[in-house]
């Protein structure tokens, strides 16, 4: 049974911590709750005690608790520690090594990576000092950021800074539980995700229904395994829950250029993007107008670069994983793509009848160079991503 400490700091999002504790208990984790004094202004310790099944600890100077050096004991007891919500104040404390309350002291005494789910006003989140503190914590290798989300905030403003939803945090913790030994520590992974947009004129473009959810789930899973992840991401709403490097792009040509700029020394490349096969040969410089009496127009399309094949042909070729989104003869087409492009592994999706694109679940068949098939039955994309990472780690080890 995984043992998790949920640390709560002074933020309006503290009420969400109750749901997080419930989710972790449902996942058969043993949970203990630690609170700062500020957190108690937003949610009662009794609520967390009832949900966790353990007394809540909130005072570093509590004689009964500290007789056993409570902050040390908690840091050693826990398999994982999550601070949710983590205020701007706590971020600053941790970044500067302060230990003046139970939460910060426990974190300083912990030998394990600590997950942080920040929560604050959008201006506080974007403030240069907060940005520096987040970077300091991430660079230390001891803290794992579960990025805040964008939306309406308690103050009435709209922007980035809302704590990630408890479901996302719980899923992230469960994903990290599976990679505690960080098998990809020191390895570089590059992933493409989302759609591309191929301009017709300054207003219109050709694109597809890719949501980017599979790619962001893969980014989180590879990051959980210890990898240094760069995600080259087309225009989409999906964002990783972890502090991976995101390179935003629009077109297929931009995506290829971005990949080539970061691919050197990569151990693994995952082509999860739905790259447009064609682009308009000549992009109109002004918005195209309808012409009276003209019932149709003709656009000349030319092939886009094949990013997967380009990476697979490199002299310093990484382990290359492709995706095949097909509507019929899914396995046959995937095997053909695997061979034609020189891939090491391919993940086949049946996207007929509106499946997969934009959905939270997926059904995948993974095929390797021996044409061995590994079926991943319908499950969340987060869980599918973990299985893909496990298999990639195994295959990568076999190549040595």
Q: Is residue 314 packed enough to be buried (19+ CB in 10 Å), middle (13-18) or exposed (0-12)?
A: middle
Which candidate, 392, 346, 14, 375, places its Cα nearest to that of 226?
392
Distance of CA 262 to CAs 28, 190, 223, 259, 267, Å? 40, 8, 16, 5, 12
Q: How far apart are CA 87 and CA 34, in angstroms?
A: 14
How wide is the angle at C-alpha 8 spanned by C-alphas 34 and 161, nearest 5°? 165
Closest CA to 130 of 114, 113, 147, 142: 147
Q: Choosing from 29, 86, 107, 155, which is the catalytic residue?
A: 155
Is 29 catalytic? The answer is no
Residues ≥6 apart with Cβ < 8 Å to 297: 288
- Annotated binding residue at 287? yes
Burial class, 345, CB count within 10 angstroms (exposed 0-12 / middle 13-18 / buried 19+): buried
User: Is 231 assigned to a binding site?
Assistant: no
341 annotated as ligand-binding: yes
For residue 102, say whether it is annotated as part of any ligand binding site: no
Where does residue 4 rank: exposed (0-12), middle (13-18), buried (19+ CB within 10 A)?
buried
Strands 301-303 and 278-280: antiparallel
Q: What residues does 274 pair with on adjacent strands?
A: 195
User: Cis peptide before 320, with omega less than 30 degrees from 0?
Assistant: no
Give the DSSP H/E element, type plus range, for residue 105: helix 102-109
Report the distance separating Cα 162 and Cα 309, nearest Å: 39
Tell me the C-alpha distance between 140 and 109, whole Å: 15
The binding site for CTP consists of 277, 287, 305-308, 323, 337, 341
Enzyme catalytic residues = 155
């Amino acid at each position: 049974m995984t043992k998790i400490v949920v640390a709560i700091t002074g933020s309006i999002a503290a009420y969400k911590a109750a749901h997080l504790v419930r989710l972790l208990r449902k996942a058969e984790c043993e949970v203990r709750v630690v609170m700062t004094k500020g957190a108690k202004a937003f949610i009662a310790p009794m609520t967390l005690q009832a949900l966790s099944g353990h007394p809540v600890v909130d005072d570093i100077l509590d004689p009964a608790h500290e007789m056993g050096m409570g902050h040390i004991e908690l840091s050693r007891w826990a398999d994982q520690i999550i601070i949710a919500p983590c205020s701007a104040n706590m971020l600053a404390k941790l970044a500067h090594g302060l230990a003046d309350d139970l939460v910060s002291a426990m974190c300083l005494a912990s030998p394990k990576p600590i997950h942080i789910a920040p929560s604050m006003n959008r201006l506080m989140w974007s403030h240069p000092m907060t940005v520096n503190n987040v970077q300091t914590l991430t660079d230390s290798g001891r803290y794992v950021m579960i990025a805040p989300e964008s939306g309406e905030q308690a103050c009435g403003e709209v922007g980035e800074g809302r704590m990630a939803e408890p479901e996302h945090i719980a899923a992230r913790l469960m994903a990290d539980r599976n990679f505690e030994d960080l098998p990809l520590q020191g390895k570089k992974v590059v992933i493409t995700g989302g759609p591309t947009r191929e301009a017709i004129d300054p207003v219109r473009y050709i694109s597809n229904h890719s949501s980017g959810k599979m790619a962001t789930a893969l980014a989180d899973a590879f990051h959980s395994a210890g990898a240094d992840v760069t995600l080259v991401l087309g225009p989409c709403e999906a964002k990783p829950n972890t502090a991976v490097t995101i390179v935003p792009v629009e077109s297929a040509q931009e995506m290829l250029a971005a990949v080539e700029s970061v691919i050197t020394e990569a151990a693994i490349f995952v082509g999860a993007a739905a790259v447009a096969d064609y682009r308009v040969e000549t992009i109109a410089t002004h918005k195209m107008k309808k012409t009276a009496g003209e019932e149709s127009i003709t656009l000349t399309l030319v092939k886009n670069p094949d990013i997967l094949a380009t990476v697979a042909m490199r002299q310093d070729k990484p382990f290359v994983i492709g995706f095949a989104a097909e509507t019929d003869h899914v396995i046959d087409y995937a095997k053909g793509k695997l061979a034609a492009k020189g891939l090491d592994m391919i993940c086949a999706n049946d996207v007929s009848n509106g499946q997969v694109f934009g959905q939270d679940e997926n059904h995948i068949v993974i095929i390797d160079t021996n044409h061995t098939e590994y079926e991943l039955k319908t499950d969340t994309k987060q869980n599918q991503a973990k299985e893909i990472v496990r298999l990639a780690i195994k295959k990568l080890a076999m190549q040595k």
